[in-house]
A and B are shown apart, each in its own frame.
Chain A
């Protein structure tokens, strides 16, 4: 089963993403900020990260940067999820090393589709 780490400081959003992904057959783990996410990423192996940008302690950009700089981690794809629909936020995300960008609120079917594509699960 593919493992996804959902990173978001808002419990509601975490719950939402978690529920969608679980129902689609993923194993889901969660982290409340970038720092916790990084710790978990170093200790476990995930197939995908679904990451919020604006978070306390360590924001989404910084988390992805640190993740991509960690040689020992399998570089699983990162989907950034943010409320900002502006191109600039997407570019910053890609500069940090994310692989995809979705705007909140994410449609369940989109999240499922892209999670499947990024983890290699047949559509």
Chain B
């Protein structure tokens, strides 16, 4: 639909623009005529209406301004001059250019958008200031936009953005926020006062500034004992507190109570392109779902792409803050989103108004859809007008109102009211019938209220209020999507975690019953119950995990836009393919993916994909391809970024790593190519010295790795020169419960994550050989290093062998390398809830955390990667 509609729009617009051009010239030649001006107005008006069907706010704005200008010409309050002709012609030129751009690419160039906005503001200003103010225009525009109507209001812009943010936070948290203006009397120094000292001691002061309230004419004759300094202070304090502090100068202070909407003033360079429009739409969608984490992630991604001095960036910062206060902050977020699109200062007042009305209508319309109620309300208004219309229209209007009501009731299948309507025929009858229907809804609303209360008790809410309304009205049996607060799921998650752990104690107990009290049957029964509880607990855990699972598409979604944006900036041609976006993983995992992923895709675009000329010269297709792939492999989610770009040259990588002192000369010589590639993940390694303009900083792969490491994931790279690069991230599907192998060393229990363990073997002492100073053994033809846990942990006790003189060895896979760890004993596996180490131990990276075992003991869980590096 959009395409043919857009084509139609382009054809029609061109036709109109031509006509407009002709009329403008005619006006110039023949002088102004009412007829021509009317025609001109109509054409521009129609163009404006048409443009509003599409998302070209700059165009609509410019046309709207032009329309207003023409309206003034038409009603004679402005005279048609060559100056105005110029303004209009220029405006129409811009519109023509916009139409051309839309025809060519379907979208507008940022610069053209900018021009259109500027011209629109120019015209607006011309209209409000008269024609002789042309020169001052630009400055004024800003002023006017920043301060809508109030004449003597506080200039909130003098308060820096971060302070205003703190103020807004405080306001949302219900704290008293005050701006205090202090204008000390001139002779106060003689009274021994020091206003600055008084101000500095303001209770709970957040911010302050001072300025001279008088201009200094002649320094030589300055009266240094005359106070000419004013102060502004922001404090989080009640009036009473402030008044007490300033009690001796109450006549010299003024306290202002700022409102949230006054403080949210995005500020910055109004630059930017259509890329934000997609964002606004997506974000609005996400807003409905209300997941704060996802919202923030999505914001962060865009923020990284946006220079902080841009207007949009300021809007984004505000939105980020406001997310914390959803749903109360909804109106402000919406206002800011609109502002991102239009670049006009956000207006929250209007929004609030519509919002005040909305919920009311929504609530009352539980039995009658709100649209039907609106139709009723409007018919009431039509009837209010009927007394003032001419007699010949009355009957027709009344008929149409009756018909409207009848149809509305038919549409909402309210046969009872419909029957009653049919008895009415006079204006008065119908009017009171409407009144009755509008008041009725209040009574009928009572029933559903209960339903809502039950829902509240369960602490769940429907995804959308509106949806709820229509569901209740139409098909009450539909499955509802519930929105549950993240923290509640987390709590559930923790509880099930505790349960899983506690149930283990049952097993422990049953053994004790068996061995210590020798109640064999009882122990057996306990074990049976244990297995039942175990099963239920597992299923429950699984079910909760399912709730936390979200598709990786939440992260992938934003890449098409990102790739389009970056590739355009870089002058590269790139096709993005997304595979497996429906793959699900734990919310935390998906969120953790977001940042490294941006790095990777950006790297592919920046360094991987070659410019079109270079690709053609290499005989590759002109358009590069980036594939984002997600898939599930066992209990891990595997994510790949694959490009068909220039690949990574292992020789260069080695050389670079050597130059940076990351590897020794010996390593430079012997490192295999695939090993060399992994050097890119080393901290301090970055293949491009100059930081990318887009990212605003050098993109280091070590950032990706540390991020992935933190979530117990792995990252690997494969690359073929001139063929492309594939980077693979593998993360656990879930991070909440860890599966560990319990081992013993020096009579202490330790946990080792199962996902690093390849197998457990027993090795005879004689099978361990010292090879180049390293103890090794041969495992099915492969030589692996052997490490002793006792040594690694510096336990100071020699390792224990079994009666047969064998060592218990865990074979681990760490960063694609195999290693054997000798322990004293294997104790089986367990599900644990990994908790971070307590504060004083947090720096010991050797352990990834602790867990409380079923018997109440504390288990230290080893981080095998660190273990190997420690050696």
C-alpha gap A19/B400 in the complex (Å): 25
CB within 8 Å for A99 and B378 given contacts A15-B5, A69-B392:
yes
Q: Does A43 contact B (CB under 8 A)?
A: no
Q: Are A71 and B412 in contact (CB under 8 A)?
A: no
What residues of B have a CB within 8 angstroms of the CB of A100 in the complex? 375, 378, 404
Q: Are A67 and B396 in contact (CB under 8 A)?
A: yes
Q: Are A77 and B403 in contact (CB under 8 A)?
A: yes
Interchain CB contact (< 8 A) of A10 among B46, B372, B382, B411: B46
Whole-angstrom distance from the CB of B190 to the nearest CB of chain A?
A: 59
What residues of B have a CB within 8 angstroms of the CB of A42 in the complex? none
Q: Are B396 and A77 in contact (CB under 8 A)?
A: no
Closest residue of chain A to B48, judged by CB? A83
Q: Are B369 and A10 in contact (CB under 8 A)?
A: no
Q: Are A105 and B393 in contact (CB under 8 A)?
A: no
Q: Are A75 and B399 in contact (CB under 8 A)?
A: yes
Q: Are B49 and A118 in contact (CB under 8 A)?
A: no
C-alpha gap A3/B50 in the complex (Å): 24
Interchain CB contact (< 8 A) of B396 among A16, A69, A83: A69
Whole-angstrom distance from the CB of B353 to the nearest CB of chain A?
A: 13
CB within 8 Å for A77 and B407 given contacts A11-B12, A122-B413:
yes
Q: Are A116 and B411 in contact (CB under 8 A)?
A: yes
Q: Are A117 and B372 in contact (CB under 8 A)?
A: yes
Closest residue of chain A to B410, judged by CB? A120
What does the 1/0 interface line of B368-404 toward A look like (CB < 8 Å)? Answer: 0101100100110110010011001101110111011
What residues of A have a CB within 8 angstroms of the CB of B656 in the complex? none
Closest residue of chain B to A68, judged by CB? B396
Closest residue of chain A to B411, judged by CB? A117
Q: Are B474 and A123 in contact (CB under 8 A)?
A: yes
CB within 8 Å for A99 and B12 given contacts A16-B53, A75-B399, A117-B371:
no
Interchain CB contact (< 8 A) of B49 among A10, A95, A97, A114: A10
What residues of B have a CB within 8 angstroms of the CB of A78 in the complex? 400
What residues of A have a CB within 8 angstroms of the CB of B8 in the complex? 11-12, 15
Q: Are B371 and A101 in contact (CB under 8 A)?
A: no
Q: Does B45 contact A (CB under 8 A)?
A: yes
Q: Does B172 contact A (CB under 8 A)?
A: no
Q: Does B52 contact A (CB under 8 A)?
A: yes
C-alpha gap A39/B9 in the complex (Å): 27
Closest residue of chain B to A106, judged by CB? B53
CB within 8 Å for A119 and B407 given contacts A13-B49, A68-B393, A105-B52:
yes
What does the 1/0 interface line of A64-77 toward B look like (CB < 8 Å)? Answer: 01011111011111
Closest residue of chain B to A54, judged by CB? B45
**Which residues of A in the span 32-71 have a Cβ within 8 Å of any Cβ on B?**
52, 54, 56, 65, 67-71
Q: Does B620 contact A (CB under 8 A)?
A: no
C-alpha gap A15/B381 in the complex (Å): 30
Whole-angstrom distance from the CB of A49 to the nearest CB of chain B?
A: 10
Q: Does B317 contact A (CB under 8 A)?
A: no
Interchain CB contact (< 8 A) of B50 among A12, A67, A70, A74: A12
What residues of B have a CB within 8 angstroms of the CB of A73 in the complex? 396
Q: Are B385 and A118 in contact (CB under 8 A)?
A: no
CB within 8 Å for A104 and B413 given contacts A75-B403, A113-B371:
no
Q: Does B42 contact A (CB under 8 A)?
A: yes
Assign chain B's interface to a size class. Answer: 35 or more
What residues of A have a CB within 8 angstroms of the CB of B403 in the complex? 74-77
Q: Does B1 contact A (CB under 8 A)?
A: yes
What residues of B have a CB within 8 angstroms of the CB of A76 in the complex? 400, 403
Whole-angstrom distance from the CB of A3 to the nearest CB of chain B?
A: 13
Q: Are B369 and A94 in contact (CB under 8 A)?
A: no
Whole-angstrom distance from the CB of A53 to the nearest CB of chain B?
A: 10
What residues of B have a CB within 8 angstroms of the CB of A10 in the complex? 12, 46, 49-50
Whole-angstrom distance from the CB of A26 to the nearest CB of chain B?
A: 13
C-alpha gap A69/B391 in the complex (Å): 9
Q: Does B609 contact A (CB under 8 A)?
A: no
What residues of A have a CB within 8 angstroms of the CB of B831 in the complex? none
C-alpha gap A99/B381 in the complex (Å): 9
Q: Are B42 and A54 in contact (CB under 8 A)?
A: yes
**Of listed B52, B385, B395, B407, residue having the most chain A CB within 10 A:** B407
What residues of A have a CB within 8 angstroms of the CB of B12 in the complex? 10-12
Q: Are B375 and A97 in contact (CB under 8 A)?
A: no
Q: Are A99 and B49 in contact (CB under 8 A)?
A: no
Q: Are B400 and A91 in contact (CB under 8 A)?
A: no
C-alpha gap A57/B849 in the complex (Å): 80
Q: Are A99 and B379 in contact (CB under 8 A)?
A: yes
Q: Are A69 and B393 in contact (CB under 8 A)?
A: yes
Q: Are B53 and A97 in contact (CB under 8 A)?
A: no
What residues of A have a CB within 8 angstroms of the CB of B372 in the complex? 117, 123
CB within 8 Å for A19 and B1 given contacts A75-B400, A83-B52:
yes
Q: Are B389 and A117 in contact (CB under 8 A)?
A: no
Q: Are A75 and B396 in contact (CB under 8 A)?
A: yes
CB within 8 Å for A99 and B1 given contacts A56-B42, A68-B393, A120-B406:
no
C-alpha gap A120/B46 in the complex (Å): 31
What residues of A have a CB within 8 angstroms of the CB of B375 in the complex? 99-100, 114, 117-118
Interchain CB contact (< 8 A) of A123 among B1, B369, B381, B392: B369
Whole-angstrom distance from the CB of A120 to the nearest CB of chain B?
A: 3
Q: Are A105 and B53 in contact (CB under 8 A)?
A: yes
Q: Does B833 contact A (CB under 8 A)?
A: no
What does the 1/0 interface line of B25-57 toward A look like (CB < 8 Å)? Answer: 000000000000000001001101110110000
What residues of A have a CB within 8 angstroms of the CB of B42 in the complex? 54, 56
Q: Are A77 and B400 in contact (CB under 8 A)?
A: yes
Whole-angstrom distance from the CB of A58 to the nearest CB of chain B?
A: 13
Q: Does B408 contact A (CB under 8 A)?
A: yes
**Which residues of B in the span 293-312 have a Cβ within 8 Å of any Cβ on A?**
none
Interchain CB contact (< 8 A) of B385 among A74, A95, A121: A95
What does the 1/0 interface line of B342-381 toward A look like (CB < 8 Å)? Answer: 0000000000000000000000000001011001001101
Closest residue of chain A to B401, judged by CB? A99
What residues of B have a CB within 8 angstroms of the CB of A121 in the complex? 411
What does the 1/0 interface line of B1-36 toward A look like (CB < 8 Å)? Answer: 100110011001000000000000000000000000
Q: Does A9 contact B (CB under 8 A)?
A: yes
Q: Are A16 and B5 in contact (CB under 8 A)?
A: yes
What residues of B have a CB within 8 angstroms of the CB of A97 in the complex? 382, 389, 393, 396-397, 400
Q: Are B404 and A99 in contact (CB under 8 A)?
A: yes
C-alpha gap A97/B399 in the complex (Å): 10
C-alpha gap A28/B400 in the complex (Å): 20
Whole-angstrom distance from the CB of B729 to the nearest CB of chain A?
A: 40
Q: Are B49 and A83 in contact (CB under 8 A)?
A: yes
Q: Are B396 and A118 in contact (CB under 8 A)?
A: no
C-alpha gap A119/B413 in the complex (Å): 13
Interchain CB contact (< 8 A) of A95 among B52, B388, B399, B406: B388
C-alpha gap A73/B396 in the complex (Å): 9
What does the 1/0 interface line of A1-21 toward B look like (CB < 8 Å)? Answer: 000000001111101100100
C-alpha gap A42/B46 in the complex (Å): 27
Whole-angstrom distance from the CB of A66 to the nearest CB of chain B?
A: 9
Closest residue of chain A to B474, judged by CB? A123
Closest residue of chain B to A81, judged by CB? B49
Query: Which A residues have a C-beta under 8 Å from some C-beta of B?
Result: 9-13, 15-16, 19, 52, 54, 56, 65, 67-71, 73-78, 83, 91, 94-101, 104-105, 113-114, 116-123
Query: Which B residues have a C-beta under 8 Å from some C-beta of A?
Result: 1, 4-5, 8-9, 12, 42, 45-46, 48-50, 52-53, 369, 371-372, 375, 378-379, 381-382, 385, 388-389, 392-393, 395-397, 399-401, 403-404, 406-408, 410-413, 470, 473-474
13 new A-B pairs (CB below 8 Å) besides A10-B12, A99-B404, A117-B411? A12-B53, A69-B396, A75-B400, A78-B400, A83-B45, A94-B382, A98-B382, A99-B382, A100-B375, A100-B378, A116-B411, A119-B407, A123-B411
A-B CB proximity, top 4 nearest:
A68-B396, A120-B407, A120-B410, A75-B399
A-B contact pairs, 22 of them (CB 8 A): A10-B12, A11-B8, A12-B8, A12-B50, A13-B49, A15-B8, A56-B42, A68-B396, A76-B400, A77-B404, A83-B45, A96-B389, A97-B382, A97-B397, A100-B378, A100-B404, A104-B49, A105-B52, A120-B408, A120-B411, A122-B413, A123-B411
